[in-house]
Amino acid sequence: MILLVAAVCTSLFVFDPRAFSGHMGTHMALVAVVAPLAAFAVSGTRWDPSSHWHPGAGLLLSFVELVVVWVWHVPAMRDLAEASIGMRLAELAIFLVAGGLLWIACLGAGRKADAGLSGAVALLLTSMHMTLLAVLLTMAPRPLYGVADVTCFGVTMTASQDQQLGGIVMLFVGAVAYLAGGVGLAARLLRASFAKPTEGQAP
């Protein structure tokens, strides 16, 4: 909860509204830090909704998050988010809900043999599309989100530098977090598959 409040308040009241890298940091804090921590906290408890979900829910929610992430990084949508505090709050809420539901589905799936694979694949696919978007943002030949200089954490950057930094943040925070989650779930599945024959052997 403290991380959530800190991320939202920093986005609203500390960062320059035009600073793409600052908002990217907030997005990644929500979907790659707050969301998985919250999902881990509820996983396996009576508040875990994934026990009632279809085994393939993680794959569907991975697609939902893909749409959320890519749509909100369309330049026109970035302009809309920067227009008012209300729109920024709506944007952050959508990111948090999409990320939270995905992590809940995948971590819950990790406890079930028939759903664990879909959870691992969902997180790995999310890491892949975030990596692609991060590379596109970092390597873009021109700034997509304005041309004016911006200030983030007291450092003044050109629009191109700001966008490149945002892409790097997405790559090394978001993409890496989802990759780690997917690999972790896959490793748990492999351990379980190797353990089953041993457990079934007679003493």
For the cut 70, the answer to whether the pLDDT of residue 1 exceeds it is: no
Residue 116 falls inside a structural domain: yes
Q: Which residues form the domain of 161?
A: 2-41+51-186
Residue 203, domain member (yes or no):
no
Number of domains observed in the structure of the chain: 1
Q: For residue range 40-72, what is the model confidence (pLDDT) as tens digits?
A: 888 888 888 887 888 889 999 999 999 999 999
Lowest mean pLDDT among 38-52, 115-129, 137-151: 38-52
pLDDT exceeds 90 at position 147:
no
Residue 148 has pLDDT above 90, yes or no: no
Query: Does 196 reside within a domain?
Result: no
Is residue 46 assigned to a domain?
Answer: no
Give the pLDDT score at 203.
46
- Report the pLDDT value the prediction gives residue 31, as an integer from 0 to 100: 93
Residue 50: its pLDDT value, please? 84
Mean pLDDT lowest for which of 38-52, 132-146, 170-184?
38-52
Q: Which residues contact 118 (CB under 8 A, 6 or more apart)?
A: 55, 56, 57, 58, 59, 109
Q: With respect to residue 198, please indicate whether it lies within any of the assigned structural domains.
A: no
199 within a domain of the structure (yes/no): no
Residues sharing a CB contact under 8 Å with residue 197, sequence separation 6 or more, in sequence order: none
